[in-house]
Amino acid sequence: MARPLSWLLMLLLVLIWVLPIAGSATLPELCKSLNTLKARLHSGDRRQFMVRGCLYGGVGFDCNLQANLVLCTLQKHNFPLNYTVQVRPQEVFRLRNISKLMSMVPDLEIGDLQELWLLINQEVLKKVLQILPERHPSRHYVSSLQDLLRMVQQVFQQPQNGEHEEEERDPLEQIEQIWAQLRDPNSAVWKLMSPKALVDNCYRTMHCLFSDCFPSSNSDSKEHYCSILHWRKGKKQQTKDA
């Protein structure tokens, strides 16, 4: 008589333990892929591969750092002086955009912004790759960023148990509008941005939007990463995470 009862109890216990774990399994996984991306976006790499450094052919220099000067003389292929990429205005996605959207759109959820971040940065990397000559040393770097971002997206899109399936939200008008503009093949307005600035935007907004994945000594890391001041300070100190 006791047997079926104990089996039932076991089953119940298993269910109680397994369900919540399965439900939250995506966050650690998401953080893992985001941290891999973060490591690749390390400021040293960004500077080395994305810097608007030398005049093509090595005639002139506009390098801020001594190390870059050496790099520029050694590398035949480099970004031409003040090189810029043509992007849609919506592909310029900075910390300021996040705070602006949060204050403008009442029902905005962090997930909406995360989704936007994924789309925008995939477009941005595609554009940077398009302007790079075939044998450019930065090509490999940019395509590795693309792969890592795709991995983040895959994990991000995995359905989470419960939460998101239950109710379909009406799409938010302002966000829909940005998506449409990002997809508009006949966009008439373009912006010129340096590849480094675009990748810097990606790095900073990633910290702001996925702050749970980047614990910091600061108690309120969300506020911390979303503040422009944090990154200005970082720049001055030449920190690793600037």
Ligand X SMILES: *[C@@H]1O[C@H](CO)[C@@H](O)[C@H](O)[C@H]1NC(C)=O
Q: Could you list the residues that contact ligand X (CB under 6 A)?
A: 81-82, 89-90, 92-93, 97, 178
Smallest separation, CB 165 to ligand X (Å): 27
Decide: helix, strand or coil at residue 54: strand
Q: How far apart are CA 195 and CA 50, in angstroms?
A: 6
Are 72 and 54 a contacting pair, CB within 8 Å? Answer: yes
> Is the CB of 93 or the CB of 214 nearer to ligand X?
93
Spell out where the chain has E strands: 85-87, 191-193
Whose tokens are 């955009």? That residue is 97
CA 206, 211, 214, 220 dihedral sign is: positive
Smallest separation, CB 187 to ligand X (Å): 11
Name the strand (E) or helix (H) holding 67.
Answer: helix 66-74
- The Cα diameter of the chain in Å comes to 90
> Is the CB of 57 or the CB of 89 nearer to ligand X?
89
Smallest separation, CB 28 to ligand X (Å): 28
Q: How far apart are CA 209 and CA 225, in angstroms?
A: 9
> Is the CB of 97 or the CB of 138 nearer to ligand X?
97
Which of 100, 91, 143 lies closest to 120 in space, CA to CA?
Answer: 91
Smallest separation, CB 89 to ligand X (Å): 4
Smallest separation, CB 106 to ligand X (Å): 16
Q: How far apart are CA 140 and CA 72, in angstroms?
A: 18
Smallest separation, CB 110 to ligand X (Å): 15
Quote the tokens at residue 49.
């591969």
Q: What contacts 74, CB < 8 A, 6 or more positions away? A: none
Q: What is the DSSP letter of 212?
A: G
Smallest separation, CB 65 to ligand X (Å): 16
